[in-house]
Amino acid sequence: MKKIVLGAAMLFVFGGAFVSCKETEEKKEVIIKEESTEVEEEGILERAGKEVDEEVNEEIDETIEKIGDED
């Protein structure tokens, strides 16, 4: 019984040594497709920020016009 177990263990060890040393050549091609979507969903903060930005730009333009008229 001991000889069978010892023989099986030796076969397992030596067999594993030969199998693990094999090198396999595998080529993997990774193709990444990017889809550009024109439609972007904006959250409430982005929309509010745009509205405030537009209002501030209008006020800046009005102030510049007033300063230009004073000369």
The whole-number pLDDT of residue 52 equals 94
Note the pLDDT of residue 24.
67
Instruction: Give the helix ranges, DSSP H, for the chain.
Output: 2-20, 44-70
pLDDT tens digits, 39-58 = 567 788 988 999 999 999 99
- Give the list of residues 6+ apart from residue 42 with CB closer than 8 angstroms, or none: 50
How many angstroms separate the CA atoms of 6 and 12, rounded?
A: 10
Q: What letter would DSSP give residue 42? A: -
Total residues belonging to the chain: 71
* DSSP SS3 for 54: helix
pTM for the model: 0.37
For the chain, domain boundaries: 43-71
Residues of the chain above pLDDT 70, percent: 76
